[in-house]
Structure 1
Amino acid sequence: MNGEGKNRFFVVLRGQSRQKGARGCVGRVEAEAQNGDLIALIYTGGSCKRAAVVKREDVYPLTRHQAQLLLFVSPPSRRLDLLGNTTLFRAICDLTQDDLVVVRSKKGFQLCVIKNLVQIGQKASPEDLQMLGFELALNTELTVLKKSVALPWFSAADIVQVPPALIPKLRHHTTGLTRKTVSRMNSMPNFSWKIRTKISTQETFPSKALNCHPLEVGSMVETVSGNRIVYGVIRWIGVLKGKRHKWAGLELEDEMTTVSDGMFGTKRYFTCEGNRALFVPLEQCRPDSRFLLTLPPDELLTPPQTPPLTLLEDMDAYVPPVAESEALSLLVGRMRGIQGHFNSCYLDATLFSLFSSSMTLDSVFHRSADEDVESDVSRTLRRDIVNPLRRCGFVSAKSVTNLRKKLGCGSFVTEEKDPEEFITVLFKEVLHRDSLLKIRSNTELYQEAYTHQIIVEKSQVNPAPTVQELLLMSFMTSGLRFEEIPSCLILQMPRFGKKFKMFPYIIPSTELDITDLLRSSPSECFLCGQSAACECIQCTVDHKLQPGTRKLYCSTCSAQVHAHPSRQTHSPISISGLELLPADEPVKKHRMQLFAVLCIKTSHYVSFVKYGPSPKSWLFFDSMADRCGDDSNGYNVPVVRACPEIGDFLSQPEDKLAQADMSQTSELVCRLLCDSYMYLYQSTATSRQD
């Protein structure tokens, strides 16, 4: 990490440095330790610095320009929020004079024009960073300025939208007046001061740009309550008793102590969890600025289509999964992923999970040009869904509807299905793929399947079980073994229907060890590592003995463990038909890697997808996160969000995960743990290494 390049500066993403460099702090690399750690200077406020040692995997590299923009953002947590909105942050970094931006100020959302990029503070040395902010002229200033006027400064985090170039910029008239220029970065031109005259109504930024589609039930909005901005979804619109104008009933993302569960006065208008219903005048609601559309107003009611492929791109050619280095720029944002349409969320979430970043199923698309066995629906899946998703990052609702029609069953077009039902049809009828799972029971009964339903008793596992624990217990109590290592393992969690959940939350296992679940595979004693001779089911369900692990013993360890008075009634079962493990050879471990999780809440499916080897490489996908227009003339807005906090959370030890307070976790982490419906794992032999 030498020079002034991209890796010289960084922001701390996870944990703390050894000298307590908190998340969100900006730093500068000074040297690299022998163990790979970074010796750095952490900026603690303005130009104040202190030495620190940070782990390379805990930081995200920045350019000098990006670091200076983030340094002016306070508190540090806002830096990470801004950095997480990749598209917006990239646009902010490219801003130049006279560009239009929308900012959030004390007066609400306002359109501004960039006048200068200002450096704040003084440098102690040439290598030091100075905070970088924007000097903005508000759109409300329509009169000619006859003297130099101090303009307000805004940080990059104050900018909530960068309108596209298609929207005409405000025009200015240069006068003879000048303004003393401020120091600015070389990446920005040396601006001359221009004075604005009164602008005609036609030249101003359209007011509906901030309210790009009419607010309706289901819209994601924000409003001010007390002294802070709150976010929620509109659940009701109408005139409250005793009121004159339209009000909105919001179901808030976070609880508040002074709100209800959908009651206003003595009347119920909608129902939600307690302390989450807020009633406000509709005119005080604005579209959720975290997901503001950046489309010109005249295009808002035209559903976007997949960008056309160029003539140089063969529609039938194999397109590899989205690389980790390209995933954020290609997939993250609004109108990204797969656009939902008429109860298609089960299909959208499943397809995005299977094909966006995983190459587990890519062998089915390796077909030669002269091969005629490919079905029409399989060709549609590849050409209209998989390839556009990987090339352009977006699949239109038209393509999804076309695929549903070609599945050969009318109910697939209009009705909501279960993901496991769609997966069976997809693998068996469309891709003509053999069963993913080949399982044999103790009674030698052989069965094949595409998914496996976890079946356990609640008392057999911990109150907050891991997927590893659930799988082992499910196989053990049913006497099941894998006949061979599956290339893709799809596990349905123990829940019944769309509402009942056996466990309040389940801890994801990023890796599954299936070594002891393989038939005719060598097994080792879980205590000493010698060749296993027997298994004890009673010990396995004993939470005091390393939960989530099959209790396989050699003869010596079994005798010692079962000599304990509390275990003398146990009945160990001899292991037969397994290959014996040589005394000097360790057991080869067989592991599966988690690459996607489907979740469901209130009959709506979403998915979390691992898009690369890095622990932080997680995406959240919702094919119907928002809607533009009404039911007859509008369309759904799919959203893909980067969620590195998933990796941060799952990187903790399992004992800490089991004790996690869900009220203190982020929204997406809580959603992953509480609403998980199906876990998708792939063999390490087929997982992609970027």
Structure 2
Amino acid sequence: MSFIVSRNFLFSLADTDNDFGPGFVVVAKSESGDESFEPTTLSRDNTPRAARQYAVQQVHIGKKKGIQGHHNSCYMDSLFYSLFLFSDALDSICKIDLCKNVDIRNSSAFEMQNNLLTLIVNPLRGENCFMPAGNVMRLRKQLETFLPGVLKEEKDAEELLAVLFSKNFVGGDGHPPLLHLRNVMLEEDQDLFVYQVFVEPENEEAYAKMQKSIPCVRNILAQSFVLQGQFFRQNPTCFLIQLPRFGKEKVFPGIFLPTEIDISNISLSSPQKCSICSVAAAKLRCKSCSLSRSERVMGARKNFSIFQYCEQCFDVIHKSKKNHVKDEIPTGEQSLNGFKYILDSVICIKTSHYVSFARTKLNSPEAFPRMKC
């Protein structure tokens, strides 16, 4: 098991034809005073190079590997490393053809997008797997207009993500949302880029127990969907998750990260069966039944069950539970994407320093590092 205190992580759609072993690689940084601070020459290639396909080679190890840090750039370096080195799930951010309007090609959005591709993504995926700090600094100077203080201050990774997805960066109307949800409590559709996980302990005793537990991300994700009355109305191609926190205070001392999660129990594209008879289609999801058992599944090896019922079973179970809160399960449509997602990368904080972990293809499970940040 690997326990990592994490804040943001990326799941991408599982490829059933591949069998990837688990593993994480920390960002490699050169000395900020290295002579290679100057930016590399702009490439004429306007298409992203292929991602590394999770194969760790000698090119990733040693000095002048990874991204060179400079002036509180760790949050940005970690984000770029996580999003682009081994994964192509979000290459659409830096694909020039996203700018369909000819006028945009003379805009700052086009220039920033091109710099992200030619100065950061492609050098990172190149033969040397090294990107000097000057490359990031050139992009930071352009981002200063939309994210004041980005040149010298440390920002949150989610602030940078918001700019990367905005129309200021990709042009047009901005990047299409990655997540499409249905909130049955508010009776509205929600389109998001990053999913914020929420937890709500029942009382102070439950909160104290929560602060000592190490839950599985699969469990707190399901709890959050139940708590907020949400379902996926479409299965995403990639899934960015932000873990809960109260200001600078961590909610959990650590989080167990499985290498794969299944979203079939929170997706409308998956036929939901009754938790009691297991035959009839589920029409109602009981929030009270599900959340009343939530503190029992805070351990990494336990599973959180979502209690959903057909109308007949719901009436039988709730004869003496008239105060239970229920949500109707809407009818869903078939999704082009599957339900299983593999863990691509993790961004976390060690004291005030951002660190990135990226999934790699390794032959031995012993290579999966056991570490706490």
Specify the TM-score bucket, using the shorter chain as the normaliser: 0.7 to 0.9
1:472–1:517 CA contact under 8 A, matched in 2:
yes
Evaluate the alpha carbon distance shift between residue 410 and residue 554 of structure 1 in structure 2; reply closer, same or farther with a 3 A threshold.
closer
- Counterpart of 2:181, as a letter, is I
Q: State the match for 1:381 in structure 2.
A: 116
Structure 1 or 2: more strand by fraction: 1
1:347 maps to 2:76: yes
- Counterpart of 1:355, as a letter, is F
- 1:609, CA displacement in angstroms? 0.8
CA deviations over 1:515-536 (Å, ceiling 9, x no partner): 2323465212346543223322
RMSD: 3.9
Q: Report the Cα distance in structure 2 between the residues aligned to 1:519 and 1:568, rounded to whole angstroms.
A: 26
Q: Report the Cα distance in structure 1 between the residues aligned to 2:39 and 2:159, rounded to whole angstroms.
A: 31
Q: Report the Cα distance in structure 1 between the residues aligned to 2:190 and 2:312, rounded to whole angstroms.
A: 35
- Counterpart of 2:154, as a letter, is E
Unaligned runs of 5+ in 1: 1-56, 59-83, 86-290, 582-587, 618-642, 647-665, 672-690
- 1:473, CA displacement in angstroms? 1.1
Q: State the match for 2:187 in structure 1.
A: 444
TM superposition score normalised by structure 1: 0.41
Relative contact order (C-alpha < 8 Å, sep 6+): which is higher? Answer: 2
- 1:449, CA displacement in angstroms? 2.5
2:66–2:131 CA contact under 8 A, matched in 1:
yes
Structure 1 or 2: more helix by fraction: 2
2:96–2:113 CA contact under 8 A, matched in 1:
no
Partner of 1:524, secondary structure, is coil
Find the partner of 2:348 among 599, 603, 612.
Answer: 599
Find the partner of 2:176 among 434, 457, 472.
Answer: 434
2:40–2:132 CA contact under 8 A, matched in 1:
no
Q: Report the Cα distance in structure 2 between the residues aligned to 1:479 and 1:601, rounded to whole angstroms.
A: 33
- Counterpart of 2:272, as a letter, is S
2:235–2:338 CA contact under 8 A, matched in 1:
no
Find the partner of 2:223 among 442, 465, 473.
Answer: 473
Q: Report the Cα distance in structure 2 between the residues aligned to 1:314 and 1:369, rounded to whole angstroms.
A: 17
Evaluate the alpha carbon distance shift between residue 430 and residue 334 of structure 1 in structure 2; reply closer, same or farther with a 3 A threshold.
same
Instruction: Map 1:54-203; keep pairs closer than 5 Å.
Output: none
2:286–2:326 CA contact under 8 A, matched in 1:
yes
Instruction: Map 1:265-284; keep pairs closer than 5 Å.
Output: none
Q: Report the Cα distance in structure 1 between the residues aligned to 2:71 and 2:243, rounded to whole angstroms.
A: 26
Q: Report the Cα distance in structure 1 between the residues aligned to 2:262 and 2:354, rounded to whole angstroms.
A: 27
Q: State the match for 1:419 in structure 2.
A: 157
Q: Report the Cα distance in structure 1 between the residues aligned to 2:195 and 2:115, rounded to whole angstroms.
A: 28
Q: State the match for 1:335 in structure 2.
A: 64
TM superposition score normalised by structure 2: 0.72
Find the partner of 2:243 among 493, 498, 513.
Answer: 493
- 1:467, CA displacement in angstroms? 1.0
Evaluate the alpha carbon distance shift between residue 528 and residue 332 of structure 1 in structure 2; reply closer, same or farther with a 3 A threshold.
farther
Partner of 1:333, secondary structure, is coil
Q: State the match for 2:46 in structure 1.
A: 316
1:402 maps to 2:138: yes
Q: State the match for 1:644 in structure 2.
A: 367
1:304 maps to 2:57: no
Q: Report the Cα distance in structure 2 between the residues aligned to 1:436 and 1:369, rounded to whole angstroms.
A: 15
Evaluate the alpha carbon distance shift between residue 511 and residue 562 of structure 1 in structure 2; reply closer, same or farther with a 3 A threshold.
farther
Partner of 2:357, secondary structure, is strand
- 1:644, CA displacement in angstroms? 2.5
- Counterpart of 1:304, as a letter, is S
Q: Report the Cα distance in structure 1 between the residues aligned to 2:290 and 2:309, rounded to whole angstroms.
A: 11
Bigger Rg over Cα: 1
Instruction: Map 1:248-267; keep pairs closer than 5 Å.
Output: none
Q: Report the Cα distance in structure 1 between the residues aligned to 2:33 and 2:75, rounded to whole angstroms.
A: 25
Q: Report the Cα distance in structure 1 between the residues aligned to 2:360 and 2:239, rounded to whole angstroms.
A: 17
- 1:426, CA displacement in angstroms? 0.9
1:513–1:589 CA contact under 8 A, matched in 2:
no
1:535–1:575 CA contact under 8 A, matched in 2:
yes
Q: State the match for 2:267 in structure 1.
A: 518
- 1:337, CA displacement in angstroms? 0.9
Evaluate the alpha carbon distance shift between residue 502 and residue 370 of structure 1 in structure 2; reply closer, same or farther with a 3 A threshold.
closer
CA deviations over 1:212-239 (Å, ceiling 9, x no partner): xxxxxxxxxxxxxxxxxxxxxxxxxxxx
Q: Report the Cα distance in structure 2 between the residues aligned to 1:600 and 1:472, rounded to whole angstroms.
A: 24
Aligned residues: percent identity? 30
- 1:400, CA displacement in angstroms? 0.9
- 1:576, CA displacement in angstroms? 4.5
1:305–1:395 CA contact under 8 A, matched in 2:
no
Q: Report the Cα distance in structure 2 between the residues aligned to 1:446 and 1:568, rounded to whole angstroms.
A: 30
- Counterpart of 1:393, as a letter, is C
2:183–2:229 CA contact under 8 A, matched in 1:
yes
Evaluate the alpha carbon distance shift between residue 345 and residue 576 of structure 1 in structure 2; reply closer, same or farther with a 3 A threshold.
closer
CA deviations over 1:247-303 (Å, ceiling 9, x no partner): xxxxxxxxxxxxxxxxxxxxxxxxxxxxxxxxxxxxxxxxxxxx9x9x9xxxx9642
Instruction: Map 1:452-601; keep pairs closer than 5 Å.
Output: 452-458=195-201, 459=206, 463-498=213-248, 500-519=249-268, 521-526=270-275, 529-530=278-279, 531-541=281-291, 542-543=293-294, 547-554=303-310, 558=314, 568=321, 571=324, 573=326, 575-578=328-331, 590-601=339-350
CA deviations over 1:615-666 (Å, ceiling 9, x no partner): 869xxxxxxxxxxxxxxxxxxxxxxxxx9223xxxxxxxxxxxxxxxxxxx4
